[in-house]
Amino acid sequence: MPTRDHIVTLRLSAGGCRYDVRVNDVPVFQDLEHGHPMTASMLVNESIAPGANALSIRMLPPPGESALVEDSRVEAVLTIRPHTRPKGDDVALTTLSLRGGRPRPEDAVADSTPPGGTSWGSVGAADAAPLPPAGLAARRTVSFALPAHAWRWLSSDRIPDDDATRRELERRYSRIRDLLAEGRTDWIPTTMRERHQEMALALFEAPEAVEAANGLFAAARDPGLSLHPLELPDAEMQVFGDGRLARLVRWDGRPLIVFVARDGSGADYFPITFRRQGADWILCR
């Protein structure tokens, strides 16, 4: 099963543009500020759904440019392997390739792998469309033949992208920061239980091991680290996962919870994402 017995990974190669690459509308690779060249890979089990899954790219001109150029490119490759096998055994399921400087949107995805069936499932056509004012968007569907974990967020309530949601998130982020500022971590096992449980399934680890590896425990008690202010007025609210997930991020897109080294040597960022079920807001990622 894709997320029960296998590891699904997204490989990225991008340059000459700003970009936003997602699986089921969950950001995986995102640089909408600087558009730095990037070659990377990331496990995406925690975002894979049973049945059909959407792989999407948004591509924007680099900073200071008014249009995409021939060198503008984003290539996203979805791969799979049994979790007991080494990384070298990854099999490419599909490639979604988006390039600038092409006369028509359909030409921009011409380097993508064709649609068709595989032993793992089926891959739909790669579709592209203009993204005003000067970008491109591409998307394709990957349907797994075997069942995957039904993560709780996939069936959560839709979250309105409005001021009431922002106020609720600000209240919850503020409470988390207050607890961390007091050096308290006793709330983590309960508040993050769902996150630890589901990430354990995604990573093929025991929930206890995932909880123990949560860096917030050490960061909150490290005298060499200082908890950065939230700066809520400058925070950006993001509602994603087809409207079922929400978070606040810094102006540069990084997580809002940050511990900064007192000697100026670096910073540790801790992502916090919520889903909503009725009146309950659950920290799920």
Over residues 160-169, mean pLDDT: 98
Residue 109 near residue 138, CB atoms below 8 Å: yes
- Residue 101 tokens, joined: 């400087």
Cα distances (angstroms) measured from residue 179 to each of 31, 139, 167, 235: 31, 41, 19, 20
Q: Give domain 6-144's CATH architecture.
A: Sandwich (2.60)
Question: Which pLDDT score, from 0 to 100, does residue 148 have?
Answer: 87
Local confidence band at 31 (pLDDT 50, 70, 90 cut-offs): very high
Mean pLDDT computed over every residue of the chain: 95
Q: What is the C-alpha separation between 223 and 16, in angstroms, rounded?
A: 41
In the predicted model, is pLDDT for residue 277 greater than 50?
yes
**Of 62, 46, 111, 66, nearest in space to 275 by CA:** 46
Question: Which pLDDT score, from 0 to 100, does residue 3 have?
Answer: 60
Q: What is the C-alpha separation between 21 and 159, in angstroms, rounded?
A: 21
Local confidence band at 1 (pLDDT 50, 70, 90 cut-offs): very low
What is the pTM assigned to this prediction? Answer: 0.93
Gyration radius (Cα) of the chain, Å: 20
